[in-house]
């Protein structure tokens, strides 16, 4: 137990280090002429956010004094690879057309730069922990219809505009001089002199509000109006669904209860009260009970993880460009909540009269992490083949394996042992008969796939507007900071999922189909399939992503995320249905 406590605190230390990671410079005060650290980060095609490379993978100026910056765990997961820059920006020291270096670009380097300009490459830097972006070149298409006539130009002069407040850096931007360019159209050597200028200007913005600039775009009135429209749309969906349940479902149940209370013989009317006749089968344990319990355990863990991430977001941990904080939080909180998965899966498996709880625990540990690990191996191999910064270095992979070995697995086992020893019994208000009742023939629309389509559509319709902004943030360059609205949408998603699954479970029981366990889980989780369908729409209709690497990363990692949603919402759907089924069968007298 002492060793597990040590592992727990180890994970907490990693978490704290990753969450609060900031460059040391962000808390520095500067005197006139002090060198403020400027780091180059990465370059890549603007429309392919996952396809990023080191800044000096392109043949920019190298002075020989560049050095790598040590990065935190989350920063590496985020694909950041910071290297000190050849541009020297001293505090409050203006510069005009300062030369960095003069370089003769070889023919192959010209081709490399030209290909980058063709693909709209941008660069990213960090100055005193503030992000800077700019494009490395431009394409002249004016008056030309044939792509072979296009001209390609490389920017060779960067204008840095810096705002300061007393002894603090507040804001920085980079402008490329459109008149200071070099022609890369032809395959020949080119002589280039890279230059930069720096202009300092005072501002009244306090240091504590310098990151507000990056969160304002998602808080503009136009965007807020769309977000609130999404909330209203979702609330209307909830109200309609609640009204449907209140007026239809509860009225039918009330009539059923009254009939059973007045006259037991009235239960002979099978068409109206079909769910009463399967009371001996409705709590018959499902097939593949080990897999079912493992899915519930994993889904509960993912639900807990999501709630913790929202809590951290709402208290302001994930401010814009807190590099790697979200990835660190995901990895560490997932590791720390693995005990929940072990406990929930094993305790429910024991309630279902399962015997091989060790195998169930192994299945629980691999159910989500297994596919995620296989997908990571494939995508990391692709990133290595592309020499992209998205490829995790060996040291980071070792850290992840250690977290899994020293934190996740022990907590999973401890949770499993606690679940096994919980001695909880399955609470079934009705006695289960020895032999299962035959399910009558049902129309096609009562089969699993049509029911899943109906169950997934309503929750998806409640969140699809917000999905666009999430995708534009994760797979684009928008910044998403309205976490309060996102949390409301998440709550609505959970409520709608629970309601629609309960309604479909009632109709299934009313048709005397007692195999509702897996159906309720599949119907609840079907929203994940709709989200993956939205991925196809977003990729082809709303984005300009292209190339094998970007396509692989988008569909690969979105498959893992949607699978996580499937497990999480499936658990929500089943738990809601279980409460409902227990309630209605507890309210009648079963023989």
Q: Assess whether pLDDT exceeds 90 at residue 38.
A: yes
- Please state the rounded mean pLDDT for residues 378-407: 95
Distance CA 482, CA 64 (A): 43
Q: How confident is the model at residue 511 (pLDDT cuts 50, 70, 90)?
A: confident
Helical packing angle, 548-586 and 369-385, nearest 10°: 170
- pLDDT score of 144: 80
- Please state the rounded mean pLDDT for residues 281-300: 94
Distance CA 382, CA 548 (A): 9
CA atoms within 13 A on the CB side of 357: 24
Q: Assess whether pLDDT exceeds 90 at residue 230.
A: no
Angle 446-450-453 (CA atoms, 0-180°, nearest 5)?
A: 140
- Please state the rounded mean pLDDT for residues 344-369: 94
Q: pLDDT exceeding 70 applies to what percent of the chain?
A: 88
- Please state the rounded mean pLDDT for residues 142-156: 87
- Please state the rounded mean pLDDT for residues 366-377: 96
Angle 523-424-298 (CA atoms, 0-180°, nearest 5)?
A: 40
- pLDDT score of 212: 80
Q: Assess whether pLDDT exceeds 50 at residue 271.
A: no
Give per-residue pLDDT as tens, 40-72: 999 999 999 999 999 999 999 887 778 889 888
Give per-residue pLDDT as tens, 175-217: 999 989 999 999 999 999 999 999 999 999 998 888 887 776 5
Q: pLDDT exceeding 90 applies to what percent of the chain?
A: 59
Give per-residue pLDDT as tens, 482-507: 888 889 889 989 999 998 999 899 88
Q: How confident is the model at residue 14 (pLDDT cuts 50, 70, 90)?
A: very low
β-pairing, 38-45 with 157-165?
unpaired
- pLDDT score of 535: 96
- pLDDT score of 476: 86
- Conformational region of residue 98, where left means phi above 0, alpha means psi within -120 to 50, and beta covers everything else: beta
Helices (H), 390-476: 394-403, 409-420, 448-474
- Please state the rounded mean pLDDT for residues 1-25: 45
Confirm whether pTM is higher than 0.85. Answer: yes
Q: How confident is the model at residue 579 (pLDDT cuts 50, 70, 90)?
A: very high
- pLDDT score of 589: 62
Q: Which of 471, 447, 448, 446 is nearest to 531 (CA)?
A: 471
Give per-residue pLDDT as tens, 82-105: 999 999 999 999 999 899 989 999
Angle 315-223-463 (CA atoms, 0-180°, nearest 5)?
A: 75
- pLDDT score of 320: 74
Give per-residue pLDDT as tens, 419-454: 999 877 888 888 888 888 888 888 888 889 999 999
- pLDDT score of 6: 46
More confident residue, 444 or 268: 444
More confident residue, 218 or 585: 585
Mean pLDDT over the full length of the chain? 87
Q: What are phi and psi of 25, to 5 degrees?
A: -65, -20
More confident residue, 189 or 251: 189
Residues paired with residue 192 on neighbouring β-strands, in sequence order? 103
Give per-residue pLDDT as tens, 518-557: 999 999 999 999 999 999 999 999 999 999 999 999 999 9
């Amino acid at each position: 137990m002492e060793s597990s406590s040590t592992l727990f605190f180890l994970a907490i230390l990693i978490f704290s280090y990753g969450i609060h990671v900031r460059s040391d410079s962000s808390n520095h005060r500067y005197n006139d002429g002090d060198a403020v650290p400027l780091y180059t980060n990465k370059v890549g095609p603007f429309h392919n956010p996952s396809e990023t490379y080191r800044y000096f993978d392109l043949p920019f100026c190298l002075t020989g004094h560049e050095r790598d910056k040590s990065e935190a765990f989350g920063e590496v997961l985020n694909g950041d690879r910071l290297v000190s820059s050849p541009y020297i920006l001293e505090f409050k020291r203006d510069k005009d057309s300062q030369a960095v270096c003069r370089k003769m670009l070889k023919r192959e380097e010209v081709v490399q730069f030209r290909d980058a300009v063709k693909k709209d490459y941008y660069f990213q830097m960090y100055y005193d922990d503030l992000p800077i972006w700019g494009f490395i070149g431009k394409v002249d298409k004016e008056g030309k219809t044939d792509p072979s006539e296009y001209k390609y130009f490389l920017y060779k002069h960067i204008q840095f505009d810096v705002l300061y407040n007393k002894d603090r850096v507040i804001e920085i931007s980079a402008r490329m001089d459109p008149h200071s360019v070099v022609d890369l159209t032809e395959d020949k050597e080119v002589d280039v002199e890279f230059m930069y200028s720096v202009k300092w200007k005072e501002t009244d913005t306090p240091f504590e509000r310098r990151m507000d600039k990056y969160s304002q775009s998602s808080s503009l009135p136009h965007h807020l109006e769309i977000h609130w429209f999404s909330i209203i749309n979702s609330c209307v969906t909830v109200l309609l669904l609640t009204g449907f349940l209140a007026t239809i479902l509860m009225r039918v149940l009330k009539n059923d209860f009254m009939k059973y209370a007045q006259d037991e013989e009235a239960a002979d009317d099978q068409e109206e009260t079909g769910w009463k006749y399967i009371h001996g089968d409705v709590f018959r344990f499902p097939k593949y009970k080990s897999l079912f319990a493992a899915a519930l355990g994993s889904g509960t863990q993912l639900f807990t993880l999501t709630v913790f991430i929202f809590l951290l977001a709402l208290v302001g941990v994930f401010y814009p460009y807190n590099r790697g904080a979200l990835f660190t939080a995901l990895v560490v909180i997932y590791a720390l909540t693995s005990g929940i998965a072990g406990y929930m899966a094993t305790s429910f498996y024991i309630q279902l009269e399962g015997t091989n709880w060790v195998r169930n625990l192994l299945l629980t540990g691999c159910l989500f992490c297994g596919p995620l690990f296989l997908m990571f191996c494939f995508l990391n191999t692709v990133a290595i083949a592309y020499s992209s910064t998205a490829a995790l270095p060996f040291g980071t992979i070792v850290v992840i394996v250690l977290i899994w070995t020293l934190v996740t697995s022990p907590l999973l086992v401890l949770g499993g042992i606690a679940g096994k020893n919980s001695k909880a019994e399955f609470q079934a208000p009705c006695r289960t008969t020895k032999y299962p009742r035959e399910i009558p023939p049902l129309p096609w629309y009562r089969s699993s796939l049509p029911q899943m389509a109906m169950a997934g559509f309503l929750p998806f319709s409640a969140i699809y507007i917000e999905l666009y902004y999430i995708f534009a943030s994760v797979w684009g360059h928008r910044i998403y900071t309205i976490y309060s609205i996102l949390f409301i949408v998440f709550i609505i998603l959970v409520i709608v999922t629970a309601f629609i699954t309960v309604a479909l479970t009632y109709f299934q029981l009313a048709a005397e189909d007692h195999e509702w366990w897996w159906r309720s889980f599949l119907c609840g989780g079907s929203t994940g399939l709709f989200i993956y369908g939205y991925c196809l729409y977003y990729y082809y209709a709303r984005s300009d992503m292209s190339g094998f690497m970007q396509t692989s990363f988008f569909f690969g990692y979105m498959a893992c995320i949607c699978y996580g949603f499937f497990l999480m919402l499936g658990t929500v759907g089943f738990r809601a249905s279980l409460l409902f089924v227990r309630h209605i069968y507890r309210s009648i007298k079963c023989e």
